[in-house]
Amino acid sequence: MKSLLKFITCGSVDDGKSTLIGHMLYEAKLLFADQERALELDSRLGSRGGKIDYSLLLDGLLAEREQGITIDVAYRYFTTDHRSFIVADTPGHEEYTRNMAVGASFADLAVILVDATKGIITQTKRHTRICALMGIKHLVLAVNKMDLVDFDTDKFDAIKEEFSRITTEFQFESIQVIPVSATEGDNITTKSPNTPWYQGLALLPYLESVEVHASDDAKPFMMPIQRVCRPDHTFRGFQGQIEAGSIAVGDELITLPSHEKAKVKRILVTDQDRNSAHAGQPVTIQLDREVDVSRGCVFTKDNQLQEADSFSSTILWMDDSVLTPGKDVLVKVGTKVLPGTVTAIKHKIDINTGNTVTADQLVKNELAVCEISLSDGIVFDSFEKNKSIGGFILIDRVTNMTSACGVIDEALQSSDNSGRMDTEITRDVRAQQKGQQPLTIWLSGSVADNTAIAKAVERRLVARGYHTMLIDNSAGESVRQLAAYAALLNDAGLLALVPAGSANESDLAIAKEMIGQAFLPIEAAINSNLIEEAAKDIVKRVVKALIQDSYTI
């Protein structure tokens, strides 16, 4: 059986993406006779003076042919003697970045085109960054229009060197740079005599031979549930596609998030019984007992997946509207869709340099790191291990349009209260042992000043006999992380001092929700020369709150 390579072409407007793929199909004799004849007839009215316009094979929309640009994603399926292919020809115009991201989400490899007369430009960098975000590990940089620079090796080497510099921050597994002419056919299907200095393969032979598939069968078993099938009272099956690993009749499965266990009674691929199934196959699994499973749940074997109701993520904002913190959205992870809120924009990512930029809003086509809170917990894995439950999309609640795509970076708070264990030693028992009520003293303002104040407050509280713990916020932790740490310290019966830094109402509301009644917010923006005076005043307020059991002052 031939291997399958799914790849995209991307790059800036008029870099020759559609022409490249069209010429490849034409030269490799991968067109039907009627397609070839239609192409020759259409080209008579094209933009090349009667010469064959290979882009017409992929640019099928009227608007695309009128403007000479790609607007929608065009998919083509073809097979050579060595491999089968699915190619997505994606648009290069910044306005259609959304469509490019859609194409990248399915691909194993990206062919990024750059115009040899222009070199690396902003859109080249944007598409490279989006490819990395979408988990593509293999790149081909096709330096196109080499015929317009007389196949100058110096120009080619300069572009190759610059591209090498801008990709050093990413974890691409392979990068091949090929000099081509999409219109004239140089290095498309065979080596060109115009580039004797290029020692590598032509584009099509390289695509036929490049190895991109790590075996998903070797990974731990994982299958998101798409549908519960119950045609009658005698049968209840769970349907979905196996995203990783393999399964066999008799294997024990864990259902998430319910954490119930059951054994595989029966496996069906279409309507045929099978003893086993592997990654990539759509299956129906019947279990040996009833379990609480519905669409959005996940089957696994070893329970190494994570669960959370809030997470930090890197997103590409694709909506015409501006994104600001507090935006309510629908979040789709795997087969699960939940209401959620974008609670914070941590920073934007500069397309050109990769540097972080402070931001309080996002506009269309910007990349950023954001925090997202969900109405309930989700099951997820790292994007590196499982794209299907490591990535997500944000959906506008009103228009139902996809507003953003992204990947989960880390959980901010575990929905199953990781770090806590139900025991007979409760918070009240620990507090009674210490002779105090747990409390979080949340200091807002400058983190540096607040840390100094918190240290002074802690010294005075310890001198009075209180049991305390100061949380180190020198790394600029998120509000949710700080609140989660404080809640754990309160569970231990301690007074937690948090130099939080943020004083906006949404952050305070998040912290209050996570910590509960044992929450004392204090704004401590003071002159650094008055730290001891501020500490003395704060201690008075803390003691008063503890005596009165009235924390929110």
Catalytic residues: 502
Q: Position of tokens 């009272």? A: 233
Helices 33-43 and 17-27, axial angle in degrees (round to 10): 130
Please check whether residue 73 is in contact with residue 103, taking contact to mean a CB–CB distance below 8 angstroms: yes
- Measure the CA–CA gap between 407 and 231, rounded to whole angstroms: 36
Quote the CA–CA distance of 359 and 317 in Å, as a whole number.
Answer: 13
Measured CA to CA, the distance from residue 126 to residue 270 in angstroms comes to 41
> Can you say whether the dihedral through the CA atoms of 511, 512, 514, 515 is positive or negative?
positive
Distance in angstroms (rounded) separating the CA atoms of residues 99 and 448:
44
Can you spell out the DSSP letters for 467-516?
-EEEPP-TT---HHHHHHHHHHHHHTTPEEEEEEE---HHHHHHHHHHHT
d(C-alpha 442, C-alpha 444), whole Å:
6
Residue type, 359: A
Provide the edge-to-edge strand list for the sheet that holds 74-79. Answer: 74-79, 84-89, 4-11, 109-115, 138-144, 174-179
- Residue 81 has a CB neighbour count (10 Å cut-off) of 7
**CB atoms closer than 10 angstroms to residue 326:** 10
b/e 389-410 (16+ beta carbons within 10 angstroms → b): bbbbbbbbeeeeebbbbbbbbe
Q: How many CB atoms sit inside 10 A of residue 123's CB?
A: 21
Amino acid identity, position 187: N
Q: How many CB atoms lie within 10 A of CB 216?
A: 16
Tokens of 132: 């990395």
Give, for 294, the enclosing helix (H) or strand (E).
none
Instruction: Give Cα separations from 351 to 101, 125, 159, 368, 423 (angstroms).
Output: 15, 6, 18, 10, 50
* Residue owning tokens 């069968």: 217
Q: Is 226 helix (H, G, I), strand (E, B) or coil?
A: coil
322, 427 Cβ separation under 8 angstroms: no
Q: For the chain, what is the largest distance between any 2 Cα atoms, rounded to a whole number of angstroms?
A: 92
Residues 251, 274: Cα–Cα separation, whole Å:
13
